[in-house]
């Protein structure tokens, strides 16, 4: 990781970071299915490895698109890295209003927006502090939001961030965590909410 980061310019690094944000992450459901469904207890236990007795569990899978350039960027740099020689872009801050879609293609059905910011907060690895409100605009949860806060180690295959609150249908049934799982090339970031 460090050797690769030393050979690229910060602008190339940020472009690569953006592309990774748009590349695939593995998900629990095929992209052709709806972006949410209520899982049966046995499905929940199998997918999440947890025992819920007879509680209902909703599982969300959405794709997060961080678009840094073009006519309508969804991520805007508000603070540059502390040093142009930084291997991790330490100090950068981007404000986001990223589309959440049902499938990995940015043109697939829009189901919400991720609004907030991320900051490069690690000097030794590519680690982001992320704060986002996920505003759902489709289906049963239309108008509901939840807030995600946590550390996102960009090159780690599986990452987890905490859900710290919510509104609407999430005010009392807030998801507990967000899992981000990486997959092969050609897909967008997938987020699973539990």
Task: Give the pLDDT confidence score for residue 158 in this predicted structure.
Answer: 79
pLDDT of 136 strictly over 60: yes
Reported as a single tens digit per residue, the pLDDT across 115-127 is 999 999 999 999 9
Residue 16, domain extent? 2-193
Q: What is the CATH number of the domain that holds 109?
A: 2.40.480
Q: Which of 182, 17, 13, 46 is nearest to 104 (CA)?
A: 182
Higher pLDDT, 58 or 139: 139
Place of tokens 């040093």: 83
Neighbours of 114 (CB within 10 A): 22
Place of tokens 């972006």: 35
Domains in the chain, number: 1
Report how far residue 86's alpha carbon sits from residue 121's, in angstroms, rounded to the nearest whole number: 12
Task: Give the pLDDT confidence score for residue 74 in this predicted structure.
Answer: 93
Report how far residue 28's alpha carbon sits from residue 167's, in angstroms, rounded to the nearest whole number: 25
Reported as a single tens digit per residue, the pLDDT across 54-107 is 455 667 788 888 888 899 999 999 999 999 999 999 999 999 999 998 888 888
pLDDT of 185 strictly over 60: no
Share of the chain above pLDDT 70, in %: 58
Beta partners for 129? 119, 151
């Amino acid at each position: 990781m460090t050797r690769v980061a030393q050979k690229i310019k910060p602008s190339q690094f940020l472009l690569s970071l953006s592309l990774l944000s748009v590349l695939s992450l593995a998900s629990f459901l095929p992209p052709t299915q709806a972006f949410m469904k209520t899982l049966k207890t046995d499905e929940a236990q199998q997918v999440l490895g947890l025992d819920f007795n007879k509680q209902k569990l909703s599982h969300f899978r959405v794709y997060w698109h961080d678009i840094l350039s073009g006519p309508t960027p969804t991520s805007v740099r508000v603070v540059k890295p502390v040093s142009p020689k930084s291997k991790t872009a330490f100090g950068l801050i981007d404000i986001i209003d990223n589309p959440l879609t049902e499938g990995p293609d940015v043109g697939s059905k829009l189901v919400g927006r991720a609004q907030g910011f991320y900051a490069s907060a690690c000097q030794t690895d590519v680690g982001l502090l992320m704060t986002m409100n996920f505003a759902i605009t489709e289906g049963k949860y239309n108008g509901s939001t939840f807030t995600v806060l946590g550390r996102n180690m960009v090159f780690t295959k599986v990452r987890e961030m905490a859900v710290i609150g919510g509104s609407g249908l999430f005010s009392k049934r807030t998801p507990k965590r967000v899992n981000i799982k990486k997959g092969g090339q050609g897909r967008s970031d997938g987020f699973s909410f539990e």
